[in-house]
Amino acid sequence: DVPPAFHATATIEKESASDQKDVAIIHIPLNDMPSIQLADSSTVQVQDTLTIIGFPGNGDVSNKPTNLLTSSVNQINVSSIKTTDTGAPVIQVAGNVEHGDSGGPALDSHGAVVGIVSFGLATDTPGETSFLQASNSARALAQALNLDTTPGTFQREWSQAFTDYSATTSGHWHKAAQELGQLATAYPLFRAVTPYLNNAQAQARTEQVSQSQTTPIATPAGKRSSSPSTTIVAVLLTAGA
């Protein structure tokens, strides 16, 4: 079972009809959590490659939480940009979109959400035509609620650590190891940092850098806290199959 510490009550703050734009804003009373930014879906072009993250039921091979809570990641290609009769902007895609992916985010090459897996149209030919709700529909709801979607402390530091982790400049492994180590100390429940921290530390042991580049970055020790004003508001992906 999922530990009670990871349970939270969600409240629907604003939603569109499921047969129209099929998105909603859900409020979850948690602070300083990982987040993904909503990008401008009008920048999506035909033949763009996107990445979807979902939890398709046919991927469940056991009832263990480690299986049920493990996401599936697939790449899809944009086939067309369209608008439904109800005025909803949608993105037609081709690729491995499965039942249970509905509500999952579609990410651009920068890791920002540009679409939300919504529905598919079955045909007599092999495969299905699948559609994403455009992220701008969710952005409109967020703007109507005057939501501040600025990344919090954790997300800013996590993004910076990953930027240094993937860099090619001299000393980047030392810097990433320091930053990931600080995250591991400040956020002990965020165990996803562990494999990246271990690799960065291993790479740093053989990285040739000057003495000035190995100076630790000074940051307050201990777990960070957030004020009530930083309560996370999440975008509900869509309700569907």
Report pLDDT for 208.
87
The string of pLDDT tens digits covering residues 22-48 is 899 998 888 888 889 999 999 999 999
In percent, the amount of the chain with pLDDT more than 90 equals: 52
Is it the case that residue 145 has pLDDT exceeding 50? yes
Tell me the C-alpha distance between 129 and 79, whole Å.
9
Detail the DSSP E strand segments found in the chain.
Answer: 11-15, 24-31, 49-54, 72-83, 89-95, 105-107, 113-122, 128-134, 231-236
Asked if residue 59 lies in contact with residue 72, where contact means CB atoms within 8 angstroms, the answer is yes
The string of pLDDT tens digits covering residues 168-192 is 999 999 999 999 999 999 999 888 8
Closest CA to 121 of 97, 87, 138: 97
121 vs 25, residue with greater confidence? 25
Asked if residue 41 lies in contact with residue 140, where contact means CB atoms within 8 angstroms, the answer is no
Tell me the C-alpha distance between 196 and 181, whole Å.
10
Is it the case that residue 234 has pLDDT exceeding 60? no
Sheet strands side by side (includes 24-31):
11-15, 24-31, 231-236
Tell me the C-alpha distance between 81 and 100, whole Å.
23
The string of pLDDT tens digits covering residues 64-98 is 766 677 788 999 999 999 999 989 999 999 988 88
Asked if residue 39 lies in contact with residue 113, where contact means CB atoms within 8 angstroms, the answer is yes
Asked if residue 28 lies in contact with residue 12, where contact means CB atoms within 8 angstroms, the answer is no
Mean pLDDT of the chain: 83
